[in-house]
Chains A and B, each alone.
Chain A
Amino acid sequence: MRRLSVAEAVREAIAEEMRQNEKVFCIGEDIGIEGGFGGAFGVTQGLSEEFGHQRILDTPIAEAGIAGVAIGAAIMGMRPIADVQYGDFIFVAMDQLINNAAKLRYLSKGKIKVPLVMRIPVGVSGRGTQHAQSLESLLSHIPGLKIVCPSTPYDAKGLLKSAIRDDNPVMVFEHKLLYGATGRKEALDVSMDVPKEEYLIPIGRADVKREGKDITIVGLLKTVHTALTAAKRLKKEGIELEVIDPRTLVPLDEETILKSVKKTGRIIIIQEDNLFSGWGAEVISLVTEKIFDYLDAPPKRIGPPATPVPFAPVMEKYYVPDEEDLIKEVAKIMG
């Protein structure tokens, strides 16, 4: 074992899969340039040295092209890992992802497979409205796309490897503040031991990141860590949070969530993504539809206000839900 950051874990997953399967390749902006950045967050740093520029394919600034070209290559049996620098640029590629990646199999009598991986960095990180949005709920709305959201290096590696091997289009969301050294003050250090031996994490299985008897907290990406921090503080007051990380939104591991809420009788969602029509609402619907009688308190969601992401640190702090917000809600629910 050795400690890896999320960026390193993702890089290792890509490299392992590229070594094992020559059909796997990366396509994106500024990912393989000599003397360059290795993508916006350094994830592909060094890969072009090992795999060459044919397989670490630098593109023009053209997200619709990147997504569409990757889809075409995937249909022919290649396994592209496409990259947008910031999730916010995925809007430029939306038509290709939603109208093509998610639909061509359906239209082809099941003859077409689109084994596309799209890596999408999301989340607030001090860059303002157009470099900050969370898009996992938005894309989870589209039947035909799998949605993966790892919160730790271990999960990031195991899930990305599964995504690359999956025959469906998989949207992999990564949080900018979880990558590791990105030069951002607010970045969290989530580096951890990751086995050297190969492992996979199946898509569609949630993880109980912390066991507790009092309240089920469901977080995603960075808010998993927010919940864990709150849990540590509340332990001192004798409150035990159970922290569930769905890890994938589509497909959603309903069983793990329901089992937890049956035990605790209470659920709070903490999400950075917009609340309206968001993934948290989906999880709460699930709970109220299936195990309403187990609930001892109304379910609750914590999230940002319904506004764009503001730039100034004081407003940004107000915008992003943090452990204080969560602890306040816990206090209310525990009465």
Chain B
Amino acid sequence: MIDKTKISPNKFIETYTTMVRIRQFEDRVYLLFLEGEMPGTIHLYQGQEAVAAAVCANLRREDLITSTHRPHGHAIAKGVSLRSLMAELFAKKTGCCEAKGGSMHMGDMDVGMLPAIAIVGGGIPVATGLALASKMMHSGKVAVSFFGDGATSEGAFHEAVNMGAIWNLPVVYVCENNLYGASTHQSKVMKIKNVAERASSYGIPGKVVDGNDVFSVYEVAKEAISRARKGKGPTLLECKTYRRGGHSRSDACRYRGKEEEKVWLAKDPIPQARKKLVQLGVLTEKKAKEIEEKVKKEIKDAIEYARRSPSPEPEDTLVNVFVGGEN
């Protein structure tokens, strides 16, 4: 249940706006990509917006996140500028990785997001290490690792969550269970129903939450993050969700059942959130329209910025390999 007293109306609106921002960004990027304006590949986040938005709404700027091959939503929610994200996708010098990374490596240390790690499971130990440093340095920072259901089959997941658990580290493990790792359904790769059940083998709390309900995610994320910050150790959050599109750029999802798709696509997190906010009297349809218009402008601005930004020089390849010198 939504308890209005627990979240301020401003926070509601802010979190909702983040979801809208992610959705519009991804919808535009998809088209730009099809039109051939962006090189490489993309893994889009439509359908999972409630997770990134609600988790990051509970983080401070100096808190840290790690992300995956599907990082656009996390980057937007953590506050990486739309301009630098769009520029990265356009392979421009002004991109958040100076065009070294592209879609799969978005991040910005200025707002607490490591360059996304595209090796499945690879970010989970690193996030645990960020949390270890926070504990050792008494910095009060919390680390959040976002990863998919598929990633929990990697050894890295097991090794890292166990370490986070035994040392009571200020880290939250957020599993976005969208039912598939690429084309492979969850039921083919694990015998349990909920990834969160794995938490018990590390002796930490595991929570299953409707990942398409931004309010539910907000509640459990808030609790897990404050628990972590108080030194009580990690939580494994499993957010049940669904990607609205393909795994990557050219995937027609022929491995997904039509019935399953129908059920899940009807559970779009954004209209659902809007409806509730209107019911609560926090949002009006008029205000919702305004938010959409505002975000549309932001994205237009980001695209224009990306288009007029310079490309990197070929020799920029050589920069930032080592600390203290170019090779």
Q: Which residues of A contact B (CB under 8 A)?
A: 29-30, 33-37, 58-65, 88-89, 91-92, 126-131, 183, 305-308, 310-315, 317-319
Contacts and interface: CB of A to CB of B under 8 A. Distances in A.
Given A130-B118, A306-B321, A315-B314, A29 B102 contact: no
Given A36-B183, A307-B321, A313 B155 contact: no
B272 to A, nearest CB: 28
Nearest to B189: A60
B155 A315 contact: no
Contact of B100 (A89, A128, A313, A318): A128
B119 A311 contact: no
B155 A92 contact: yes
Point out which of A29, A126, A312 has the most chain B C-beta atoms below 10 A from its C-beta: A312
A126 B121 CA distance: 22
Contacts of B153: 60-62, 65
Interface in B97-113: 97, 99-102, 104-105
A129 B101 contact: yes
Contacts of B254: 35-36
Nearest 5 A/B pairs, CB to CB: A60-B153, A35-B254, A36-B183, A318-B314, A312-B99
A129 B116 CA distance: 11
Interface in B302-316: 311-316
A224 B41 CA distance: 26
B314 A30 contact: no
Contacts of B119: 88-89, 91-92, 130
Interface of B: 39-41, 91-92, 97, 99-102, 104-105, 117-121, 150-151, 153-156, 181-184, 188-190, 249-251, 253-256, 311-318, 321, 327
A152 to B, nearest CB: 26
Given A29-B182, A315-B317, 5 more contacts: A60-B150, A61-B121, A61-B154, A61-B181, A91-B119
Nearest to B36: A185
Interface of B is mostly: loop
Nearest to B100: A310
A71 to B, nearest CB: 15
22 contacts: A35-B183, A35-B254, A36-B254, A37-B182, A60-B153, A61-B150, A62-B154, A126-B39, A126-B40, A127-B41, A129-B105, A130-B104, A130-B117, A131-B104, A306-B321, A307-B318, A307-B327, A311-B102, A312-B39, A312-B92, A312-B99, A312-B100
Contacts of A128: 40, 100-102, 104-105, 118
B97 A62 contact: no
Given A126-B40, A127-B41, A313-B91, A318 B315 contact: yes
Contacts of A88: 119
Point out which of B253, B313, B318 has the most chain A C-beta atoms below 10 A from its C-beta: B318
A62 B119 CA distance: 11
A226 to B, nearest CB: 18
A231 B188 CA distance: 50
Contacts of A65: 153, 155
B318 A30 contact: no
B113 to A, nearest CB: 17
Contacts of B121: 61, 92
Contact of A311 (B91, B182, B255, B256): B91
Contacts of A59: 189
A127 B181 contact: no
B101 A311 contact: yes
Given A36-B255, A62-B155, A314 B314 contact: yes
A34 B253 CA distance: 10
A214 B104 CA distance: 45
A190 B43 CA distance: 29
B40 A311 contact: yes
Given A61-B120, A64-B155, A310 B99 contact: yes
Contact of A315 (B255, B256, B316): B316
A315 B88 CA distance: 13
B34 to A, nearest CB: 12
A318 B190 CA distance: 44
A61 B151 contact: yes
A30 B105 contact: no
Nearest to B311: A314
A108 to B, nearest CB: 25
A58 B121 CA distance: 18
Nearest to B105: A128
A34 B185 CA distance: 11
B255 A34 contact: yes
A312 B91 contact: yes
B317 A319 contact: yes
A58 B184 contact: yes
